[in-house]
Amino acid sequence: IATAGQSDNKRGHVVVQTGLDSELMHSNDAVLSRHVRLFADFVRRVTARRDLDFTGSVVGLERSTGQVIFMNSLRFNGQEVVPDNAAFEQVGRDVASCIKPFIYGFGIDQGVIGTDSQIDPLECTAPDGWLPEDSSVSPDTVSNFLVRSKNRAPVCVLNRAGYKKFLEFWSRIRQTKCSETDYKIANGFGSCAGMSTVDLASAYTIFPDGKLRPATMLLRIVRNGEEVRSKQPKYETVLRPTTSSEVTEMMRAIVDEETGGIAGATAGGLKRTAQLPRNIELAGKTGSAPLDVWCVTIHPKFVMAVHLSVVPPDERELDTSKIVSTYTSVPLAADILKEIYRLNPTLLEGKLLHQ
Is the pLDDT assigned to residue 263 strictly greater than 90? no
Residue 101: per-residue pLDDT:
97
- Contacts (Cβ under 8 Å, ≥6 apart) of 156: 119, 120, 121, 123, 124
Q: Do 132 and 186 touch, CB atoms closer than 8 A? A: yes
Dist. CA 95–CA 164, nearest whole Å: 19
Confidence class for position 10, pLDDT limits 50, 70, 90: very low
- In angstroms, the CA 121 to CA 89 distance is 35
Give the 3-state secondary structure of residue 244.
helix
CA distance 305 to 204: 9
Helix (H, G, I), strand (E, B) or coil at 12: coil
pLDDT at 12 over 70: no
User: By percentage, how much of the chain surpasses pLDDT 90?
Assistant: 59
Task: Give Cα 46 distance to the centre of its chain.
Answer: 25
226 has a pLDDT exceeding 80: no
Q: What pLDDT, on the 0 to 100 scale, is given for residue 260? A: 44
Q: What is the pLDDT of residues 242-253, one digit of tens each?
A: 999 999 999 998
Q: What pLDDT digit, counting tens, does each position of 42-62 carry?
A: 999 999 888 999 999 999 999
Give me the mean pLDDT over the 193-217 stretch: 92
Q: Convert the pLDDT of each residue in 58-70 to its tens digit.
A: 999 999 889 999 9
Q: How far apart are CA 106 and CA 89, in angstroms?
A: 27
pLDDT at 228 over 70: no
Considering only CA atoms, which of 328, 106, 339, 325 is closest in space to residue 203?
106
pTM for this one? Answer: 0.90
Average pLDDT over residues 318-329: 86
Q: Which of 134, 63, 55 is nearest to 100 (CA)?
A: 134
DSSP helix/strand/coil, 18: strand
